[in-house]
Amino acid sequence: MAAATMVAAGMSGARRVGTTSERNRALFEAQRKARRGPTPEVFFAKHIDNSRIVKADDPERRREMRSFSAVMGILFLLVMVYVWQHFSAIEVGYHVESQKQQVEALREENRQLRLTEAQLTDPGRIDRIAKQLGLDVPQPGQVVRPDGSMQNAPVLAQASAPVMQ
């Protein structure tokens, strides 16, 4: 307060200046002249006891805060649902890609197994191995298949009359 009156008093004696920097310089000089000496200004801390103050209840403010909290809660819930769906979609995408890679690996393994089976069941190869082991061609009626039919068994010729329609 005292500084404001000193500044006002200093300005009344000072001439009007045009630019801001000149005005600030003039105010500073006026404040410096108004000081009583080289001693700085001293401020004292004032301790205020607010322990006896009771806040007045404001039902309108309470209603506004409840509304605001409800709206923010709903907004937070919606954002969390969106984030959950987004991350779930990303996770499903990774799962689909890993399943595609697994299917491709199983297809390659199946192709390799079919190739191996074709090589192992080649009749020429089986015949060569059998001859190396000293095996001979089976006699008629010697081979019995699992379905009950016989291989190289004598077959009786049968004739059937053609059916006229």
Q: What pLDDT digit, counting tens, does each position of 127-147 carry?
A: 899 889 988 887 777 777 777
2 or 158: whose pLDDT is higher? 158
The secondary structure of the chain in percent helix, strand, coil, rounded to multiples of 5, reads 60, 0, 40
Condensed to tens digits (0 to 9), the pLDDT of residues 86-140 reads: 999 999 999 999 999 999 999 999 999 999 999 999 988 988 998 899 888 877 7
Provide the β-strand partners of residue 151: 143
Determine the average pLDDT of the residues in 143-165: 67
Per-residue pLDDT at 76:
98
Distances (CA, A) of 51 to 48, 55, 110: 9, 11, 83
pLDDT tens-digit map of 32-70: 777 766 666 666 788 888 888 888 889 999 999 999 999
**Residue-level pLDDT at 109:** 97
Question: What pLDDT score was predicted for residue 153?
Answer: 57
Is the Cβ–Cβ distance between 24 and 49 less than 8 Å?
no
Higher pLDDT, 79 or 163: 79
Contact criterion met (CB below 8 Å) for 9 and 34: yes
Longest CA–CA span in the chain (Å) reads: 146
Q: What is the pLDDT of residue 31?
A: 80
> Cα(150)–Cα(132) distance, rounded to whole angstroms?
26
